[in-house]
C-alpha cells in the first residue's frame, strides 16, 4: 500500500503534495514503483495533530481520488475518520475505507461501510491523535488489542459488513510506546489467528528513532528492515512511503530464502 498524503503537516511528507495535479502525479509514480493499493489521506493524524474541517478535507482528497480512479485500476483507499469524506470518496472511485479509529469516531461510518460494500481497514488507536502518545498503557498490549478487535469485529459483522471485506491494523504508533510497537511487530501471528488479513503501517515512524537514533529523513533502512521482518511473518498488507525500496528488498529476500535448503 502506497501512502499518498495530501496534507501540509503529515509527520514525514507533509507539504510534499498539496494540489491535485501533484498528488495525482505522485500516486501514479507509486503505482509504477509497485503499489498494489493507494491510500489517500487529507488529514494528518500524527501525534498532537489538529483536526481538519470537513470541507477542507473534502477539498483535498475527493478531486485526487476522482482523477486517480479515472487513470488506474489499482484500488484506492480513503484514509479518514469522517463518514462524509468516505462517502464522497467512494462515489469518486475509492473502494476501501481506512479508518484509524476502527470506525468509532463517526457513528455514520459503519452504516456507510455496510451500505456501500466498501472494503474496511479497522485500526486500533488508544485515545485520539491529540492524546494518544501522552501515556499509552496496557495490561498486555497483545491480549488487549486482540480483545478490542474481537469486540469491533462483532459490531462490524452485526452491521452486515462481510468478513471478506475486513482488514485489521494494530495501529503502530497510535497510542503505543516503542516497546509496545516492537511487541506487536514480533507477534503478528497472534493477530492473524483472528482470521483476517493484517495491515501494518510502520513506515518512517517515531519508534524507529527510539530504536536506531535516526531522524525521520534517515529511517528508510529501518523501515525496510521491519518490512522484511513482516514479510517473514506473512503480513498481507504493508503501508509504505517508499514503495520501491521496500518492494525490492522483500523480493530480494524472497529470492534468497526460497532457495535456502
Range of the domain at 111: 2-258
Cα 103 to Cα 236: distance, rounded to the nearest angstrom? 21
Catalytic residue among 176, 205, 206, 219: 205
Catalytic choice (146, 152, 204, 239): 239
Residue 174 near residue 126 (C-beta atoms within 8 A): yes
Residues 6+ away with beta carbon under 8 Å from 4: 17, 23, 26, 27, 30, 38, 39, 40, 41, 64
* Residue found by looking up cell 522483500 in the block: 250
Active site residue 189: no
Q: How many domains does the chain have?
A: 1
pTM for the model: 0.94
**H or E stretch covering 242:** none
Q: Is the predicted pLDDT of residue 120 greater than 80, yes or no? A: yes
pLDDT of res. 9: 54
CATH number for the domain spanning 233: value is 3.20.20.20
pLDDT digits (tens, 9 = 90+) for 66-85: 999 999 999 999 999 999 99
**pLDDT tens sequence across 203-255:** 999 999 989 999 888 999 999 999 999 999 999 999 999 999 999 999 999 99
Active site residue 210: no
Cα angle value 155/159/162 (rounded, 5°): 95
Amino acid at each position: 500500500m502506497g501512502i499518498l498524503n495530501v496534507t501540509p503537516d503529515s509527520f514525514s511528507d507533509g507539504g510534499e503534495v498539496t494540489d491535485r495535479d501533484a498528488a495525482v502525479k505522485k500516486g501514479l509514480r507509486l503505482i509504477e514503483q509497485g503499489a498494489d493499493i493507494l491510500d489517500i489521506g487529507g488529514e494528518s493524524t500524527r501525534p498532537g495533530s489538529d483536526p481538519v474541517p470537513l470541507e477542507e478535507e473534502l477539498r483535498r482528497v475527493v478531486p485526487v481520488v476522482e482523477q486517480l480512479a479515472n487513470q488506474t485500476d489499482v484500488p484506492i483507499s480513503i484514509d479518514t475518520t469522517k463518514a462524509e469524506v468516505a462517502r464522497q470518496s467512494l462515489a469518486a472511485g475509492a473502494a476501501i475505507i481506512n479508518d484509524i479509529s476502527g470506525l468509532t469516531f463517526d457513528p455514520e461510518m459503519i452504516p456507510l461501510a455496510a451500505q456501500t460494500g466498501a472494503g474496511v481497514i479497522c485500526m486500533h488507536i488508544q485515545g485520539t491523535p491529540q492524546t494518544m502518545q501522552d501515556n499509552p498503557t496496557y495490561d498486555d498490549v497483545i491480549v488487549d488489542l486482540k480483545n478490542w478487535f474481537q469486540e469491533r469485529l462483532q459490531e462490524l459483522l452485526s452491521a452486515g459488513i462481510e468478513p471478506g471485506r475486513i482488514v485489521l491494523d494494530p495501529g503502530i504508533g497510535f497510542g503505543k510506546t516503542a516497546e509496545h510497537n516492537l511487541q506487536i511487530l514480533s507477534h503478528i501471528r497472534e493477530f492473524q489467528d483472528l482470521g483476517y488479513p493484517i495491515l501494518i503501517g510502520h513506515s518512517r515512524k517515531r519508534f524507529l528513532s527510539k530504536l536506531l537514533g535516526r531522524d525521520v529523513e534517515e529511517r528508510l533502512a529501518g523501515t525496510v528492515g521491519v518490512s522484511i521482518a513482516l514479510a517473514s511473518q506473512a503480513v498481507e498488507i504493508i503501508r509504505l512511503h517508499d514503495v520501491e525500496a521496500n518492494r525490492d528488498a522483500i523480493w530480494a529476500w524472497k529470492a534468497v530464502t526460497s532457495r535456502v535448503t
